[in-house]
Amino acid sequence: MTLTTPGLLFPAISLLLLAYTNRFLVLAQLIRELNAREGESIRPLVVAQITNLRKRIKLIRVMQVYGVASFLMCTLSMFALFIEFNTTGIILFGISLACLALSLLTSLYEIHISCDAIEIELKNIEKKPLSDKAE
């Protein structure tokens, strides 16, 4: 394995971490808006959303931890290969790939939870009475 092999993961991991950060920022903004909109009391629908949002924030933290661990192991792998500790470099690269896989699997689960949040909103919309207005 050459020094460039782990280097190929750098752009992918960087973009992945950026995507995770964006998901986190969107959720943080959504939570702030929800807090401002609800005021002093909250509706039962919002309680379900809060539970969902809390779980998603925790999952994004796990995704980021595994992503950063993958990035760090990839960097250490490149350093080990640079100083010609080839076996160590290969092992660290394998650990990096495992961390990346865990990050992606956690992301997949978070997407599933995200779909549950949308389902909660759809159920709320369905409860509303039909409008008599024709479009």
User: What's the pLDDT tens digit per position in 26-60?
Assistant: 999 988 888 888 777 777 778 888 888 999 999 99
Please check the confidence at residue 76 and state whether its pLDDT lies above 80.
yes
Cα→Cα distances 101→12, 36, 126, Å: 12, 37, 38
Nearest CA to 9 out of 85, 86, 103 is that of: 103
Higher pLDDT, 127 or 63: 63
d(CA 42, CA 35) in angstroms, rounded, equals 9
- Global pTM value: 0.82
Q: Give the residue extent of every domain in the chain.
A: 8-124
SS3 126: helix
d(CA 4, CA 80) in angstroms, rounded, equals 12
Residue 134's pLDDT band (boundaries 50, 70, 90)? low
Question: How many residues can be counted in the chain?
Answer: 135
